[in-house]
């Protein structure tokens, strides 16, 4: 068996039991859905592929068309990769929080980068990025803004892909789902699929302290690819039973613990999910199967989350202090 193009390699990511979070004495098993094993190293490969499929159905895309999208990084990587395969021009609207590796990846696949450098009144770049993407799409011929924040095709990618995979991998025995949100697409799609098959499933949504996807007052945060300064249309709040907000310190400690304890180099958003899971598991009675959706690889964050000097420069040296001490 072989694939005909890179898009055919998206999905069928592994499920890994996490020894450091599971507890045999309570019958609690914790599993990580490793979306870093997609060809573009993130969960956004699935969303990007389905967004393009829907655009082809709606607009008869052909080589030479332009795709423009606002992103914090991973969607840009995924779309740049897929647009290269299909012969589309890709314009990626990014901001200074985007890891340099993600910027370079977009360019490596032939994508054009438009950088938004001035935040809006809240201190976030997200609304300005979206406005720039829409403006570009409105002025260029044969150009489409996919709108990952509100386009239900992004949810479908996970309802028809990620959700069924998890269900199959655990023979339908899923009791708790924990996932982070930015656009909300992967959590909404997976939660919908699994809840239709197990109405008793508990779903926890995770976002950074300062994010307002599930409400609150926006404050800037350092976590990348997770959280927003507004609530996007693809968040299905009715599917989420509880919300946990994670500080930058907690997210980065948890991410680096996964590297030390499990040999998993994952992004800060996976750290947020892991930190939220630790909080949830502390009061959980087993037996129970818990699935954590881990969005991306940590390779793109070697200069940030995994760089001691970067942490110290952002007044997060406490992350290193906690890692040296006894594990909580």
Question: Which residues participate in catalysis according to the annotation?
Answer: 44
Residue with tokens 């000097």: 309
Q: What is the CA 135 to chain-centroid distance, rounded? A: 25
Q: Is 283 helix (H, G, I), strand (E, B) or coil?
A: coil
Backbone angles phi, psi at 219, to 5 degrees: -140, 140
Cβ partners under 8 Å of residue 168, min gap 6: none
Cis peptide before 12 (omega within 30 of 0): no
For 175, other C-beta atoms within 10 Å of its C-beta total: 19
Residue with tokens 């881990």: 294
Cβ pair 90, 83 in contact under 8 A: yes
C-alpha–C-alpha distance, residues 119 and 107, integer Å:
23
Cis peptide before 287 (omega within 30 of 0): yes
Name the token pair of 114.
């438009």
DSSP state of 209: B
Q: What is the CA 1 to chain-centroid distance, rounded? A: 30
């Amino acid at each position: 068996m072989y694939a005909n193009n890179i898009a055919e390699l998206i999905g069928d990511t592994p499920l890994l039991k996490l020894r450091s979070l599971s507890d045999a004495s309570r019958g609690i098993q914790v599993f990580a859905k490793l979306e870093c094993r997609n060809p573009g190293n993130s969960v956004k490969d699935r969303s990007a592929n389905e967004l393009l499929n829907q655009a082809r159905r709606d607009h008869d895309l052909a080589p030479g068309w332009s795709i423009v999208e606002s992103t914090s990084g991973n969607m840009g990587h995924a779309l740049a990769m897929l647009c290269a395969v299909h012969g589309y021009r890709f314009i990626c609207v990014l901001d200074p929080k985007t890891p340099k590796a993600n910027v370079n990846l977009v360019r490596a696949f032939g994508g054009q980068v438009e950088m938004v450098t001035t935040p809006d009144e809240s201190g976030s770049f997200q609304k300005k990025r979206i406005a720039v993407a829409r403006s570009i799409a409105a002025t260029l011929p044969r150009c489409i803004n996919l709108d990952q924040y509100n386009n239900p095709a992004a949810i479908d990618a996970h309802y028809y892909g990620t959700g069924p995979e998890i269900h199959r991998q655990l023979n339908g025995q899923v009791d708790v789902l924990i996932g982070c949100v930015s656009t909300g697409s992967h959590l909404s799609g997976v939660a919908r699929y699994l809840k239709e098959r197990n109405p008793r499933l508990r779903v926890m949504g995770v976002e950074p302290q300062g994010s307002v996807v599930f409400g609150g007052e926006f404050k800037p945060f350092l976590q990348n690819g997770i959280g927003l300064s507004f609530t996007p249309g693809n968040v299905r709040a009715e599917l989420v039973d509880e919300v946990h907000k994670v500080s930058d310190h907690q997210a980065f400690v948890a991410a680096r613990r996964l590297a030390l304890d499990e040999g998993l180099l994952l992004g800060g958003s996976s750290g947020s999910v892991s930190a939220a899971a630790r909080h949830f598991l502390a009061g959980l009675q087993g037996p129970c199967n818990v699935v954590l959706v881990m969005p991306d690889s940590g390779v793109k964050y070697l200069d940030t989350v995994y760089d001691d000097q970067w942490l110290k420069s952002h007044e997060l040296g406490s992350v290193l202090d906690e890692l040296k001490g006894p594990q909580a």
